[in-house]
Amino acid sequence: MNTIPTQLTDLPLFSKIRLSEINPKLTSILRQNRLDLKKLLKKRTARTWDNFMLPLEELEDRLNHFWSIIEHLNNVNQTPALRKIYSRCLFKLVAYRTELAQNTKIYRAIQSIVKSSPYKQLSSTKKRIIQHVLRDFKLSGTTLDTKKKQQFRQLKKRHAELTTKFEENLLDATHAWVFKVHHQKELAGLPEHIMSEAKHLAKKRKTSGWILTLDFHMYSAVIIYADNRDLRKKMYEAYSTRASEQGPTAHKYDNTKILEKILDTRDKMAKLVGFKHYSQYSLATKMAKSPSVVFDFLYGLAKRIKPLAKKELKTLQNFVKKYYGIKKLEVWDIAYYSEKMQYRKYKIRQQQFRNYFPVDKVISGLFELAQKLYSITLVEKQHINRWHKDVRYFEIYDKTNTARGAFYADLYARPKKHGGAWMAECRNRRVLKDGRVQLPLAFLNCNFTPPQRKQPTLLTHEEVTTLFHEFGHTLHHLLSTVDELGASGINGIPWDSVELPSQLMEGFCWEKPILDLMTKHYHTCQKMSALMHKKLLISKTFQTGMHSMRQVIFALFDMRIHHEYNAKQKNQIQKILQNIRQQFEVIKPPAFNRFQNSFSHIFAGGYAAGYYSYKWAEVLSCDAFSLFKQHGLFDQEISQSFLHNILEIGGSRDMMKAFVKFRGRKPSMTALLKDSGII
């Protein structure tokens, strides 16, 4: 088919969205989809890709055009009214999707396509999509009897209710806690921009003094820099007990019982469709095909990392005892004294790096890197309808000046916005009926410190890597050349490899040629010097054992609770967590810590029995990046190979085969271990 790319027009009109119209609009779309599906299933002609799979794709895309925007607004501007409407709509949507996923007529129709002779002539991409669809039908309970289907539907609905409530509780608990500081000396050590923001928050509340919140950028600043040990403890306790039965807001937004209900619901869904544990159910769509493979991977990593982590902690304890006379190091002391030790040993302060990274310079450097790697140009467009004045909009063009896609960047923290950083799809690439290409559209979201007065936002290096990470996801979505919705962008990609492009982008953040593109000291206007770069590289492997162990513990916790869940056992989440900590945690958190109650990645996101994906994909990304370093960061043969073999293919190919085609062999863990300073 000869396709003609569309122009980037018909963008969402966020300012025209009326809350009162959301529910009726969704209801109308779902009604129309059901009617169109009924007509489609009534047709007596032999099923083919064109007369059956494509109409199904169109139904999905019609719904996604509307719902992706509502979902996004709920994440970035969640008012009480929108929350209520969103929850009501979400349950309708879950019911519709489950109903669709359990439709035996659709399942049999697609099976008939596989058995037909035209199936052999389909492209490998279309065959792969069909096979994945049939697999997903089975995972959704299509082959169950009527009674069990109904049970599965009820469980799916219940799961949506629970995960939504989990996220709402976490958001409420995070924003409910504020701490007023009356005297500036109590904030000694804090960076100037955090002091300024705290003062600004107090003024907004029409009060004196300074206001501290649990927004992560403010919490982390206090934990790392505040000289006031009591303040650090207060912030740590409030942050680590969010949405739990512990801490300053105990029981008010408690997720404890919700966690157990989420696990129970997942366990029952998995058992209904023939799996012993939810861990197996989750892995049915991933690269790692069994829990034993994941456990071997994680325990193997943990055993290699633990000696280094213990050594790092011992070094820190000795430092604190020698220079500060503190015999017992508490969890809320680790980041603070680590920063002190970094400075004393290496003359490194993270805030020194921050001055080199004005956000606009980082963005221009990031875009220049993308241009050098993939021959693309990013153009900012003004006068675009947006949901907040700080939102920016960029279009991507390739070397033939053909539009490839666009994205919105919402970079700053604010009330009513979910914490963290993420990329979300707005539209996916696909070929329309008239032969035009629907270009992809994305949302890139972060939670950086907002600009204060005339001073620009200065990013920490960690925030720079966060931006690069999410931009990697964005490129993965936007640069796809797959024309079928089921394999376009990140669709159809195993969850444990979806982090490969994003983590590869992080690798560039440490390289001097890239830093030269994106650094400009806020006061001197100089690029990062060779000496500062050397310090940055030292900071990269500083306490890497402790940081890596934390990620492995999170992954083991996630995998074990989904593999060992037993409805008859009480308090098993906390028991499993304690057991893992006893084995691998080098510094034990206090008894009141309830990190699991805010672990939204696995209890409200897509990482259930899949958090290991970060480390799994890090093996892939470090190994891939080592090829860039070996041949040159801007080597066109390597970068174009990554573009064509990874970024553009979406879910159209087996990811291990795609990686081997790029790398020339299967992935090796050596690069990750070297990069982390473990070997």
Nearest to 437 by CA among 386, 482, 383, 389: 482
pLDDT at 2: 43
Options 1.10.1370.40, 3.90.190.20, 1.10.460.10, 3.40.190.10; CATH for 4-171 is 1.10.1370.40
Strands 436-438 and 392-397, sheet pairing: unpaired
Q: Give me the DSSP letters along 537-589.
A: HHHHSTTHHHHHHHHHHHHHHHHHHHHH--TT-SSHHHHHHHHHHHHH-SSPP
Residue ranges in 205-330 assigned as alpha helix (H): 216-225, 229-240, 256-272, 278-283, 291-324
Residue 211 CB contacts under 8 Å (≥ 6 apart), including other chains: 178, 179, 180, 181, 198, 201, 202, 205
Q: CA 445: distance to chain centroid? A: 10
Burial degree of 42 (CB within 10 A; 0-12, 13-18, 19+): exposed
- In b/e form, how buried is each residue of 311-324, taking b as 16+ CB within 10 angstroms? ebbeebbebbeeee
- Residue 4 CB-half CA count within 13 A: 5
Q: Helices 256-272 and 572-584, interaxial angle, to 10°?
A: 100
* Residue 296 in tokens: 């071997």
The DSSP bridge partners found for residue 95 are: none
Q: Give me the DSSP letters along 284-304.
A: TTSSS-SHHHHHHHHHHHHHH
Provide block-wise average pLDDT over 10 residues at a time, the chain (679 residues). Answer: 56 96 98 98 95 97 97 96 96 94 97 97 98 97 96 96 96 96 97 94 96 96 97 98 97 97 98 98 96 97 96 97 95 97 91 94 98 98 95 96 96 93 97 93 96 88 97 98 97 96 98 98 95 94 95 98 95 95 95 97 96 97 97 97 98 96 96 89
Options 1.10.150.130, 1.10.1370.10, 3.30.565.10, 3.40.50.300; CATH for 256-348+544-611 is 1.10.1370.10
> Do residues 225 and 188 lie in contact, with contact meaning Cβ atoms separated by under 8 Å?
no
Measure the CA–CA gap between 176 and 239, rounded to whole angstroms.
Answer: 11
Identical topology for domains 4-171 and 256-348+544-611: yes
Kind and range of the H or E run holding 424: strand 422-427
pLDDT at 125: 98
Q: Could you confirm whether 21 is annotated as catalytic?
A: no
pLDDT at 7: 56
Catalytic residue among 71, 161, 470, 618: 470
Measure the CA–CA gap between 190 and 193, rounded to whole angstroms.
Answer: 8
> Do residues 111 and 142 lie in contact, with contact meaning Cβ atoms separated by under 8 Å?
no
Residue 151 CB contacts under 8 Å (≥ 6 apart), including other chains: 268, 272
Burial degree of 606 (CB within 10 A; 0-12, 13-18, 19+): exposed
Measure the CA–CA gap between 331 and 80, rounded to whole angstroms.
Answer: 35
pLDDT at 454: 77
The DSSP bridge partners found for residue 448 are: 412
pLDDT at 6: 52
Three-state SS string across 565-576, please?
CCCCCCCHHHHH
Indicate the SS3 state at residue 610: coil
Domain segments of the chain: what residues?
4-171, 177-240, 256-348+544-611
Burial degree of 285 (CB within 10 A; 0-12, 13-18, 19+): middle
Phi, psi (degrees; rounded to nearest 5) at 174: -65, -40
Strands 430-431 and 422-427, sheet pairing: unpaired
